[in-house]
Structure 1
Amino acid sequence: MSYYLLPHISSTLDSSDIHIELDDKLLNNVCKTTHKYLSTLKREIESHTDKWDIYKKFTNTYEYIHTQIPSLKQSVSKYKPVSRAYFKFVEIANLFDIIPDNRFSISSFHLCEGPGGFIEAICHLRNNSNDKFYGMTLIGEDDNIPGWKKNPKLLKNNPKIHIEYGEDNTGNIISYINYLHTVNKFKNTMNIITGDGGFDFSSNFNNQENMSSKLILAQILYAISIQAYKGHFILKIFDIFFKSTIEFIYILNMFYDKVYIFKPQTSRLANSEKYIVCKSFKFTTTEQYKNTFSTIIKTLESSQEKADQKYISGILNTKMPIFYVTRIEEISNVLCQFQINVIQNTISLIKYQKNDLNKKVEEMIKNNITKCIQWCIKNNIGYNKYTSKNSISIDYLQTSQL
């Protein structure tokens, strides 16, 4: 996939420039036509929920790097990490040269990290016994919360990994006391930071951007507060239609030398997930923002406790340059058009009525396996070999059921 370098921003952020606004009624600010059409398609996905989770794998080119190939019971990658996030980090790290030379020890912090795919990847990419990797994620009994339960062996057997629970032992980053605890303990010391927070959006694909806005902002504030000079930050976001999201990215542009928008090949093509890759942090200290950031976290925490269904409508008192907003809009339109094409192809496959459905899908899978192998070679991942003798059967698909 392509990546997009955003315009360089030379101005700096003053604490007085930041003021959080919450609202329960938001209008999208950019890509209005694209947003409307994509929203219509996402609603159509909801009418095919019984089949979508099956068919989306066939139209996702790099699905079988991690997912088992039908009838073969193994994936292309020989290594089976805790989640597909492992491969996303490997891809991002290789493309953007995120991992420093092993001669120098590093510290990394992984926000909203459960079940641990990013931290697992950095463990394998690094070879320095003095490294320290910190992970923080929400602790809870809810199965929808991706805690540490899936990866006990990695955590137990790796002395470089440290789990951070915060002041209240919940791992909740939208917490005033946890923010202060983390900043006081780690301020401006982390070479690499990741923020991979998300929710289960399967019941409401169209509200991903707003539902995730508080979590995304919290991750940004933590990162700016604990990032080391010249360090890097990788942040997961979703759609880019609202002013708040553009302002989040703009703020990052003021703190890092280079900021990219990137859709990894290992991120499912039909979803809105994308990553902001921030390189080379400009500051040696961000102590001057601590009071302002902690006040914002307190506002987010209060809103969360009230369950008030309000979203972030804005975070800046100052206007962004028109050229910057225009560039974001251009990038968002390009990424959305690609996403729209994949969703349309998947829905068309679900509706396919001809008797050669199985053969059609089997050919798609074979082509995708070839591309998955190429990805593994490019990213130094060991892979299982397949030949024409390997039979791929998906006879469980029947046109009569569609």
Structure 2
Amino acid sequence: MASNIIHFEKDIEFSKKVVLNTSKKFPDPKFIFSETSWKLDQFQNLKTKLNFVKHKLNDFILEEWHEHTSKMNPSGLVVNHVRKHIHPDFLTQAWCKFYEIMCNSSLVSQKSLLTGNMCSVHLCEAPGAFISALNHFMALNHQSIKFDWLAMTLNPYHESNGHPDTVSDDRLIFSTIDKWEFGPDYTGDIFQPRYHEHLYETISKKFDNGASLVTADGSIDCSDDPGEQENIVMSLHNYEMMVALNIIQNGGSFVLKMFTIFECNTICRIYLLCCLFQSVEIQKPATSKSGNSEVYVVCKGYMGRSLATPYIQMFFKSKNHDNALLPLSQIPNNFIDELYNCSSYFCDLQIKTIEKNIITWNNKNESYKEINEIQRIICQEYVNRYKLKPIRWDQDVISSSNWSRARNNKRKINISYSEKLRRRDLCLQEEAVLLYQEIVNFSNSKTNECHEILWGRCDQVSLNISNVKYCLGKPVIQVRSSKFCNDSLLQYRIKIINKFPCIDSLSNSESRILYFKTKLNYSKNGINICDLTDTYAKNRNNNVILQYSCLFNILETLQQKSEDFLLIGYPLYTQIAVACFFVIASMFDTFAIIKPDRNFGHAFAFFGFKNLENWLNILSEVLKYILPRNDSYTRSKLALVSWLPIQQLVKQRSHLDIVLLNNLCIAYEVEPILLSFIQS
């Protein structure tokens, strides 16, 4: 009897899909966003039913609940088994899901089979598991087909992108940067002006006839309002669909991640896909946690860009994206009935899982024993069903040597959802105390890790003038992420300087100079000094002006060409600044990074100037590009984002020293702001 139950569970896990009818009457493109949004009672009742069950989770500690649901996940053993026995180069849960979709859906088109060429485009793809899974699938199943790909995502190297939108794991992007397209403003934002046109032009040059397969795995952090997940991600999924329709080749395929199917624009989106593809089905892979709302719309046999173009043009022309994608009158009743049954099916699966996880919460150990046999069977079935085997090391997308580049900036959420909501309503005084405790704990844990002075030599700096490339993009007014400090600390800094009154430094320039000279035991005369502490304080809310002002003052000082150079208070949070620092370091025999002090800040010292006019000229050029300028293509202002490759900067020997320095700089900057507010 137990064996029958287990095999019944196995059959359910691997058959969660609904095939939709695709012979539909094309809606009139002129109706795109022409009417206000509409709701259907039967779909809204499903939403209410699901959210009622979700509300039962409000008082669970989020991290503990996540751990429990992971242990109760029927496919919970798959990832570790695949990692241990198959050794994919970039394994995640998403890798397993997409590999499953590829095996279940025959997404390699007839055209690819005939021509021997397969080209894929991956929208909102970071960190890149779909690419790795597809590469593994092609290596095992279609070795004779030449496979190529292009991807887009929010650019982790554009410092105005940040938490929670940007994925910090950049291992694949770092190794394959030439295969990522970040658009005309370099942010990788799918909403940026004319992005769909830019991507179409890029793909037309790279792939002759468009993409054989397009995937869209985008999402938006909905943890502050999980009951409205579908509405929060609505605009993103609409954009993903329209961008995809613009680049898929005739007969090609499209895989779109979605969540629940309750709202009008989700219904409209699926209807439009059923009109434009010969085959549409909605799947929930066995390796997708059954307690979440995630499903994938798998579309095959694209009927052509010529049919989709009127919808694409009206979509991007419209200014009323809050309206209904299509009027209700354009959607046949039989399709609504069909989609309601589909929505109800996936909704009931999710509710059943949540209820089961709640019931087993108080009897965890016994429940884990019961689920273990099911997990073992499903893991075995996954590997056998999809004929998974390792591929050769030279077929991998990235080499294992880049795995160490992953940084885990994710903090555990050791509070419940209810407590999270309560913290949103704290008064400023309470919030300041909470933030101050977090910052002090961090700085106390890191203070002893940093040496008083870190020394380096110019021959330890590896730079090449031939790699200089002035990359213009959306101006980075506020630094929200950086490869040169902890992203969580950056988020604290942004929140604190925006919410609380800043305070002036307790030191003056004379005392700072004396402090750093004493630290260096420097007694000679004639050292050039550039103190940027006041410049930073004046421009801390506008990074573009800050970068310009700092480099302007540095260049003025360097023109004096003294043998030694003391640089006080230069912030190194951006690629522009770090590149400038390493270039300056290469112009002297030795350099020193001086540990931050709570009163006097931080500094850098350089000794033994070498007359390298080429690099000085480059720094002068950098200064010209920093301030925003009008761009005719995007019809917006673009400014310098980087000028030396990020790969070159993070591979410098002093990279981790700069990260530690910056972390302490942020902590020491915001501590007195919070303390002053609390005491006041």
Cα deviation code 1:78-120 (max 9, x no counterpart):
5463421111111111111112439611211100100001111
Distance between the aligned counterparts of 2:385 and 2:369, measured in 1? 25
Name 1:171's counterpart in structure 2. 188
How do 1:55-66 residues align onto structure 2 when only pairs under 5 Å count?
A: 55-66=68-79
2:18 is aligned to 4
Amino acid across the alignment from 1:254: C
Please point out which of 274, 280, 301 is paired with 1:259. Answer: 280
Say which structure, 1 or 2, has more relative contact order (CA 8 Å, 6+ apart). 1
CA–CA distance in structure 2, aligned partners of residues 252 and 134 of structure 1: 23
Q: CA deviation digits over 1:345-390, x for unaligned, max 9? A: 11112233xxxx424313322431221121111112249xxxxxxx
- Give, in angstroms, the shift of residue 143 of structure 1: 4.2
Query: Alignment partner for residue 95 of structure 2, among 68, 86, 91?
Result: 86
Query: How many positions carry a matched residue from both structures?
Result: 358
Which residues in structure 2 correspond to 1:2-401 (within 5 Å)?
2-19=16-33, 29-50=41-62, 51-66=64-79, 78-79=87-88, 81-100=90-109, 101=113, 104-126=116-138, 127=143, 130-140=146-156, 141-147=161-167, 149-152=169-172, 156=175, 162-186=179-203, 189-283=210-304, 285=306, 286-296=308-318, 312-317=322-327, 318-352=329-363, 357-382=364-389
Question: Displacement of 1:170 after TM fit?
Answer: 0.8
Specify the SS of the correspondent of 1:149: coil
* Conserved 8 A contact 1:132-1:162: no
In the aligned structure 2, how far is the partner of 1:9 from the partner of 1:49? 47
Cα distance in 2, alignment partners of residues 53 and 102 from structure 1: 46
Describe the SS at the equivalent of 1:279: strand
- Structure 1 residue 219: Cα displacement: 0.5
Backbone CA RMSD of aligned residues: 2.7
SS of corresponding position for 1:108: strand
How far off its partner does 1:20 sit? Answer: 5.8
Return closer, same or farther for 1:348/1:359 CA change in 2, 3 Å cut-off: closer
Q: Any unmatched runs of 5+ in structure 1?
A: 301-311, 384-402
> Cα deviations across residues 140-196 of structure 1 (Å, max 9, x unaligned)?
4524335473433x863x69x711111111111112221221123336611100010
Distance 1:52 1:111, change over 3 A: same
Give percent identity, aligned residues only: 24
Q: Which runs of 4+ in 1 moved over 6 A?
A: none
Which letter does structure 2 place at the counterpart of 1:116?
A: G
Query: Whose helix fraction is larger, Structure 1's or Structure 2's?
Result: 2
Q: Distance in 1 between matches of 2:84 and 2:371?
A: 16
Corresponding residue for 1:397? Answer: none
Q: 1:316–1:34: structure 2 CA closer, same or farther, 3 Å change rule?
A: closer
Q: Give unpaired runs (5+ residues) of structure 2.
A: 1-14, 391-680
**1:36-87 CA-partner distances (Å, limit 9, x unpaired):** 2210111122221342101111221112211589xxxx76765463421111
Corresponding letter in the other structure for 1:97: S
TM-score (norm 1): 0.81
Does the CA-based 8 Å contact 1:59-1:342 persist in structure 2?
A: no
Q: Are the counterparts in 1 of residues 245 and 305 from structure 2 also a CA contact under 8 Å?
A: no
